[in-house]
Structures are given as structure tokens and as C-alpha cells.
A and B are shown apart, each in its own frame.
Chain A
Amino acid sequence: MKDTIFALSTVPGLSAISVFRISGPESFSVLKKITTGEKPKSRYATLKKVFWEGEAVDQCIVITFEKNESFTGERTVEIHCHGSIAVIEKMASVLIKIGSSLNLRPAEEGEFTRQAFYNGKMDLIQVEGLADLLKSETEAQRKISLGSLEGVVSRKIEGWRSKIIAILAFLEAGIDFTDQDLGEVPVLNMIVDLTEILKKERESFQSIRSIKEGLDIAIIGPPNVGKSTLINRLSKREVSLTSRIAGTTRDIIESKVLINGVVVTLLDTAGLRETRDTIEKKGIAIIKKRLKTVAFKIFLINNEADLKNIGIKTCDEDIIFKAKADRGNNTRFIGISGKTGLGVKEAISLIEKKLPKIYFNSGSIATYRQQSKISDLLDVFLGLELDVKAGLDIELVAEKARDGLKLIEELTGRIDTEEVLGIIFKSFCIGK
């Protein structure tokens, strides 16, 4: 017998309303034990008093969901009670007590979603989308994860899956029906068509990951050039301690800011210079290591000579500013002043341009797992493209295509040979 589970689905603590959710085969029996009268009509909000041992606990709105009509796919009851600590605690203790006579227990973390998954209410992509949605902090993250939750991504993957099944069908037709007059079989074109689509998809992975997980930008420059001042300016708050003394910043200080819907982590670093101080040396080594994972760097310099003295090469994506420009600018770079705010606006718009374009395309493949599977898939079919061109035996090409299908099935659904045969019979005039 499956367990029935319950949990407080809203944040514990003072609020207008708190919601308890009960899910599982016994949930209607639980409701019967604590309310009087008829079970409310499925999916209708109904005012009910909750009683326990003859005493009223609270006046609540109760909603019931029939099996297969709920989020979890199980019979579900939602009790919307008042959001006081006392009510929440009383309600929870009542439900725990019922657990001694009925098969009811507190839910484990994520267990409602697990029920939904095992009941086939959500596929894996949707579960991942939900997890992301609950974690989302930015508008961009919300849109991407909602697309995943709503099945936009699943449908897209389903589209690729049909393409793979068609490829497989054409290959299998070339094996099982060679005694027939099949005409031209454009398998190579079909493979190329798929790899082109997957390539485009893979190209977007990096920027989608940036949107989802944010990206790091390091601000580097010689000591006391005003890096911390600039960071405070960009963050609109005091993140880094500033002083006139060179070397005030020793550790890497992080500040998260939202630029154009992307979470950007600005890294304030210790000033870079030739030094004999062992601690400072270690600090600089740590910075250099960290710089390998940043999206790009902002160099803040006093003069062109600094670029050499810092000991770090600039890349094409990097931005270079002349610091303390309120005191003048004799370089070819844009001047900026953390102190007066001079040039900060221009700097931000420059940074914005460097950020990945946000795809408000809600079918984006966002999780690492999905992205790596799709990369594998692309590799399989790129390999297949070469194999077909090189004239590999058709049964081995088909074997590899079957692998491709398995990969996509690990993302969602499942294959049936009947489906492959179905396409063959639809596409070709088979039969002597």
C-alpha cells in the first residue's frame, strides 16, 4: 500500500493563510476524520471547520482533487488555514496523530514531485524545470524554467525524437526491405538536418547557462587604483572596504548584481603588482586561478604601462578603463571614476553589450544533465554523418542510430520497434 503524505506547503511563520497539502490514497479518509459533512466536490474551494477530539481547530478552505486530477496524480486534499504559528502547529500535530491510525506521515523533501513523477504526471525535463522554477531569482530564470515545466522543452525534444525514429526507420527499411523497390533513401540528408538543429542548440548552451547560473566578471588592476570604489558604485552599496592605503583588498570579494536580467558576480581582487610579500604573492596566485573561470575581465589602470606591470594578458572580450578619470585621462581608453560616478553609466552599457543575449525563448535546454545528453546526441549523429559518408555497413550505422535513440530516451519517453516499422510502412510501398 502506498503511503499518504502531508506537508505544510507555505512558509512556516506568520502569514494570512497557510496551506497544508495531503497526498495519497488515504487523503480523503484523513479529511473525513477532521471535518464533518460531505466531502467537498472535487476542485471546488469549500469552507469547512476542522475539528479534533470534539474541538474546533480552525476555519479553513478545503479543496479536494481526485486521483489523476491532482499535481501528484494521487488523491489530494489542500487545507488552507490561518497562517498563525499556533494554528500551523496544532494542525501539524493533528495530522501526525492521525498517522497512528491511518497510513499518513510527513512528506520527505520533494516527495510530492516524486509522486507526480512516478505517476507519470511529469516527465524528467518537467521535474527539472520545476526544481529550477522554485529556485529562480531572475525574470530570465523564471521564463526558462517555466518553459521546461510546461513541457515546451519536452515537446521540442519529442520533435527531435521523431526525427531520429524516422532516420532509424529509413535505415531499417534499407535492411529489411532491400528486396523491394524503395527508390532513393535520403538518410544522409536527414542526419545532416538533425545535426544542424542540434548544433544550433548546442551553440546556445553557454549563454543559457550564464542566464541560469549567472556569470563572473573580475575587476583587476594595480593596487589602489579604485577597484573597490568601482564595485561599490556598480553594486550601489558598500561591498568592499576602501581606503587610501594600497592593498586594502586582500581576499576576493564577490558582489552579485542584476544586469539586464542576468546575475553577474563582480569579483573585487587585490591589486596586482610585483611583490615579495609571501601572503600577497599567494593572494595573487589565487586570483590568477580564479580568472580562468570568469566570463571576462575589467581592467582598471592608471596608465598604459600598468597593463604590462599587472602581469595578466588582456583578451578580446575584456574591457579596459582609465581609472580616477575625474583627475583627467591621457590614455586611449574610456575614463571612469568610481568616486564621482563619471563614466559609470557608459561602463555599464559597455558591460551589458558583452553579456549574452537573453533568449526569451522558453524552449531553452537549461540543465547541465540535459545539455550534456544533447551534446552526446550531437556527437553520435556527427559520427553517423561521417560513417554514412565513409560507407560503413548499414547494420552498424543502424546500431549507432539505435544508441542515439537510447540517449534521447534517457531524456524522456521510450521507443518501440512498432513505431519504427509504422514509419517504414507509411513511407514506402512495401510488399510483394
Chain B
Amino acid sequence: MKHLFDVIVIGGGHAGSEATYAVARAGGRVALVTKKRDQIGVMSCNPAIGGLGKGHLVREIDALGGLMGVAADISGIQFRLLNRSKGPAVQGPRTQSDRSLYKEAVQNILFFEKNVTIIESEVVDILIEKGAVKGVELEDGTKLGTSSIILTTGTFLNGIIRIGEEKIKAGREGDFASLKLAKKIRGIGLNIGRLKTGTPARLSSKTINWSIVEKQRPDDKSTLFSFLHKKPFQRQISCGITYTNSFTHEIIRKNIGKSAIFNGSITSNGPRYCPSIEDKVVRFSDKDEHQVFLEPEGLNDDTVYPNGISTSLPKDIQEMYIKSIKGLENVNIKSFGYAVEYDFVNPKDLKSSLEVKNTKGLFLAGQVNGTTGYEEAAAQGLVAGINAYRCAVQEEPFVLDRSEAYIGVMIDDLVTKGVIEPYRMFTSRAEFRLSLRCDNADIRLTEKGHKINIVSDDRMRLVREKTGSINMLTEKTKTMLIPIRKLEELGINQKKDGKKRSFHHILALKGISDETLKKLWKDFFNFDLDVREFVRADAKYNYYIQRQKSEVDRLQKNINTVIPKNMNFRKIEGLSSELKTKLCEANPQHIHEASKIDGMTPSGLMLIISKINSYKKTA
């Protein structure tokens, strides 16, 4: 079979789009096979991008030249920086997007990329010979040869939609499930499990009584996703906030037996952080109201996404409880909520490159790996795209470490721990949270991306300039010394030790306003906002970051530690069972040997070292 394509991507959701674009940027010829060309880049759940932890992922994707941040900025109609009152390490940009503008932005990028070919068809078979990918077979019998495939089928593998007692074989409302492909995937010998997720009903904006619900305003000054953008492209709008009430809860409680989740038809795990309204009412029965966000799906779209009331109750019950909510008394329901159950592949079957362990050239990304969320999917798509192309041209895989990026944290979590519920990013998952910030994603990652040819020279040049400015400003703030007396005049109390304080030191203090800083050194504001923000965050966290670094150094020092012969790796608490197996097989004699084992993490090594050391100390 002739190879027309270096990589074939199956699926055009967020993982598939990002993967396709990554291959194209790296210079690979890529085909994206999707059932519906006009559905590429569609937001099938709520019309929003970013949030806490997720915003980090989008910034990282952007720093590596990806498309999600750009598309989110172009379509963003309500930018809000979450945790604005907290430190920069835990802030997360988020936006409501205009659903059709988002899709359009993604399609514009992909359709005009010269290396990309879109094929509107269904893949019914993946051709594998001797444990390696050979190509795909389309529904019309056409066979396409390739050595690298990226599977991004989302919830389509054996997808079943449930609304009350109703049961429809579908991956998404109005779309058929992929049954043949699901059968094939099961045949490869991967560990398949079932997960579920849910979505709420969609409402007609015209029929909502907006005048009696609270308003959630956009930020006065928008924080965008892409490092290339400064200002929003679209008019900014407000969302509504309303609440369920005891009457709503009573309706749900009375009909709980009709819910697909509670009547026994669904047994798979859903995300605990995104429970259905019936879950909330049952598990937190002491709460007499739950927030509902009314999110418009677009500037010229009548559809509203009521965030917070996803459900699998029958349609008549949905109608009843929705109409019991303030502002929704006369609402017109455009489509009903449902739960969807689908096959996922246990990501422990994958390498850190997202390649399936037992099949060379087969890569998996997105919801099929047990994750949830557009951002998680896109981040995996990016990594799978990079590595599928690198596999095709026989280059070493590109892997990000937990200390380098949220993307690294996520993929490491997935491939070492596996999933039992849909995996979502949180900042609490990152051990190096203070150094992995949104504001420094470009400084952390762009050069890495440039090295593997997925980031343009222009973008690289911008980051170099920014780095230069940061260094200059850091140096200046450290050498600019201010007498205590002057600080006291401005109400900044410091220990009276006669020593001057550097401007850098002042930047690290909590609650220092821009006005105060202006009075201390007004030229500070001649630097770009992102440069100032970086230096400020760095000043604030420097002490803690150094301490974390010393931990990493401690690891380096222990690299020659001998592992006792009788060490039983199986009994080290906290190591994943996969790592345990690998350690037992490899039986490393030294820590540096253990560090070379595929999938070994710094924290894993620390566990082994501390096990050895703790015994030495008592002996």
C-alpha cells in the first residue's frame, strides 16, 4: 500500500483537530477522517474553554503553537480570569465561546493548512500487521496506507445515550456510535472500560426571564489565552445565574427512580466533579439550592446552556424541574439532557508518547483515554500528533515531565495510574504548581516546541524578546534599593533593621497596589504587562520554587544509591502497579538504573530512595 499520508487522524473533535494541526506544523502529510466535515471542532458540551487547571493546559498548547487558544480567543464572548484575587500560580483564564465562531476558527485553521487533507468518511477498520499499524479501511472499502494513526473517537466507541428509560446507540445527540471500530479496538487486546458523562437540556434564550436572574459580568479587562493576542475579538456579554429550589429538589427526589443513573441502567462511573442534578440532590440533601449558570451559546444564537443541571431523567420530568427554577418558568426546551456511556481504553496501556504499548504506530488521544474536557483532549491531541509524526519519521518521542508542564502531569497520571472516573485537570494535581503557571507557559515550553519544529520562528523570536525583557527587569528590580523610611511613608511596614529593601522584595509582598509601586518606581510600568506579571510572580514564589528545586537536586545526589538486593518493589506504597512490575522485571541495582525505566517519575524514585534511607537510619 502506498503511503499518501505520514499520519491518519480518526475523529475531528478537539483532540483530533489539535493532533492534525500538530502533524501539519511539524511538516507531516496528514489526513483527518471524520464522519461530518462541518462538525470539525464542534463544542458538543458546554460552550466554554479554560478554567482552573484547564486554562493552564490551553496556555501550554498555545505556547507549543497549537490552535485551541487561538480559536478560543477569536470566539470568546465572556473572558473571566478565575481566582483573580489569589496568587498568579492558581489563576486560570476562562471564556464563554460563541459555539459557531469557535468551530469556524478551528476549521479555518485546518482547511487552509497545506499539509492537511480532510476525508469525510467513517473508519471501519484499523489495519495491523505484526503488531504495527499498516493503514485504515474506510466505510466504502477504500484502504489508506500509513504507519501512524491517531484515534480520537471521544464518546463514540459503543456510545449509548440514555434519557430515563430511553436508550439510543449514539456517540452524541444526532450522531451514530462507532460500533465496528469499537469491536476492532477490543480485538487488539487493550483494556476497555465504560465511563459515563452527562449533559443538560438546552434552552431558548428568548423564553428566559433574564430580568429576574442574577448577572455574571465579564472581566473589565480581558485575559486572553494566546500569547499572541491582547484584546478580545468579539463583543463581551454577561451570563445569568439562577438557583434550584426546594420545589425543584422535591420533583427530582420524587422521580429519582426514573433516572438512568439511579434505576440501574447505568453502572459506569461518571465524573465526581461534574455530578448530575439528581446526584447533587441525593448526595447533598442538606443543601436547599444549587447554582445554575445560564450560558448563551453565541452572540446570534438563541440557545442557552444551563450549566449545573445535567441529567438523565425522562423528558417530562426534565421539563417539570427546569420550569420550577426562577427565570425559567416559561422556558422553551430546545433539546433534552442525557447521559452517555461509552468505551474507553485504560490509558495504562499507553506509553508516555500516547502510543499503544502493544501496537507500533497506534496513538490514542482525548476522551477515549478516559479523560473529560476539551482542554484535556486537545492537550493529548497535541502530544499524540507530535509523536505520531515523530514515529512515522523515526524520531525519539517528545515527552514532557511533571516538573515542566501540566500536560506532563496529566499524561503521567494517565499512563501510570490509569483512570476510574473521567479524568479532569486540577491545579492540585501538580506538585510543581508554583512554577507551572499560566503566565510563564511560553517561557517554559516554546523553545522546546521550536526545537521539534512545531513552533514558528516568529513566535520563538517573541519569546526570546520577552525573556530578554524579563531578565532585564528582574536585574533592575533586584538592584533598585529603597530605604525603610520611604516604605513606611507608603504604609509598608518592614522590620526596622536599617537595611534597604529591593524593589524585587516589595513585589513579593501581598497587597501592594499598582499605585504604591508607581510611587516607588514609575518606570516599572514602562515594561509590558506580561513581563511585569512574570517578574512579580517570580518574586513572590522564588523562595518556594528554589526549595522545590533543591528537592529535585536531592534526587540527583541519590542517583548512585545502591538498591538492596532484597528490596521488594511490590510493597512500596504509592508506586503504581505498572511501575512495580517494571521494577521487578528490570531489578535495578542502582537508583540511576531505576530512573531509566520507562514511565519512572521523580516522585517514584523518591519513594524508593526514602524506603532505602529510612531503613538505613534505624539500622
B428 and A118 contact, CB distance less than 8 A: no
| A179:B52 contact, CB within 8 angstroms | yes
Bound-state CA distance A179–B86 (Å) is: 13
Known: A114-B566, A120-B568, A430-B272. A420 touches B308 (CB 8 A): no
Q: Are B615 and A114 in contact (CB under 8 A)?
A: yes
| Selected contact of B566 from candidates A115, A175, A395, A431, CB within 8 Å | A115
Partner of B568, one of A73, A175, A425: A73
Which chain B residues border A3 with CB–CB below 8 Å? 565-566
Please count how many residues in chain A sit with their CB below 8 Å of the partner chain's CB atoms: 46
User: Which of A73, A115, A175, A369 is close to B83, meaning CB atoms less than 8 Å apart?
Assistant: A175
Residue B434 at the chain A interface, CB threshold 8 Å: yes
Q: Which residues from A are CB-within-8-Å of B564? A: 114, 118
Q: How far is the CB of B93 from chain A (nearest CB, A)?
A: 13
Interface members, chain B 257-308 (any A CB < 8 Å): 271-275, 280, 283-284, 287, 290-291, 293, 307-308
Which one of B139-147, B466-474, B477-485, B606-614 is at the interface?
B606-614
Q: Is A348 close to B, CB under 8 A?
A: no
Cβ of A396 and Cβ of B428 under 8 Å apart?
A: no
- Closest chain B residue to A415 by CB distance? B574
| Cα(A420)–Cα(B89), bound, Å | 19
Q: Are B90 and A118 in contact (CB under 8 A)?
A: no
B53 → chain A closest CB, angstroms: 7
Using an 8 Å CB-CB cutoff, how does the interface string of A103-115 with B read, 1 for contact, 0 for none?
Answer: 0000000100011
Q: Out of A119, A175, A415, A425, name the residue touching B273 (CB < 8 Å).
A: A425
Chain A residues numbered 66-120 whose CB sits less than 8 Å from any CB in chain B: 73, 110, 114-115, 117-120
* Complex CA distance for A262 and B618, rounded to whole angstroms: 24
A176 touches B427 (CB 8 A): yes
Contact of A395 with B433 in the complex, beta carbons under 8 Å: yes
**How many Å lie between the Cα of A202 and that of B566 in the bound state?**
36
**Does B457 have its Cβ within 8 Å of any Cβ on chain A?**
no
Chain A residues with CB under 8 Å of B283's CB are 429
Nearest A residue to B607, CB-CB: A414
- A410 B610 Cβ-Cβ under 8 A: yes
Whether A431 lies near B614 (C-beta < 8 A) is: no
Question: For A178, what are the chain B residues with a Cβ–Cβ distance below 8 Å?
Answer: 52, 82-83, 86
Chain B residues touching A, range? 35 or more
Contact present for B574 and A175 (CB under 8 Å) = no
Shortest distance in angstroms between B86's beta carbon and chain A's nearest beta carbon? 6
**B307 adjacent to A110 (CB under 8 Å):** no
- Give chain A interface residues in 176-216, CB to chain B under 8 Å: 176-181
Q: Which of B429, B434, B619 has the most CB of A within 10 A?
A: B619
Residues from chain B with a CB closer than 8 A to the CB of A425 are 272-273
A127 touches B618 (CB 8 A): yes
A414 surroundings in chain B (CB, below 8 A): 573-574, 607
Contact between A432 and B307, CB atoms less than 8 A apart:
yes
Beyond A114-B619, A432-B307, is A172–B565 a contact (Cβ under 8 Å)?
no
Contact call B544/A176, Cβ cutoff below 8 A: no
A276 at the binding interface (Cβ < 8 Å): no
Which residue on chain B has the smallest CB distance to residue A110?
Answer: B619
In contact, A124 and B86 (Cβ under 8 angstroms): no
Tell me how far the C-beta of B163 lies from the nearest C-beta in chain A, rounded to whole angstroms. Answer: 20
Contact indicator B280/A172 (Cβ below 8 Å): no
Residue of A nearest to B279 (CB): A431
12 A-B pairs (CB sep. < 8 Å): A73-B571, A110-B619, A121-B571, A175-B90, A176-B53, A176-B426, A176-B428, A179-B52, A369-B617, A421-B426, A421-B429, A432-B308
| Given A398-B428, A431-B280, 7 other A-B residues pairs in contact with their CB atoms under 8 A | A127-B615, A128-B618, A172-B426, A177-B273, A181-B291, A393-B540, A421-B429
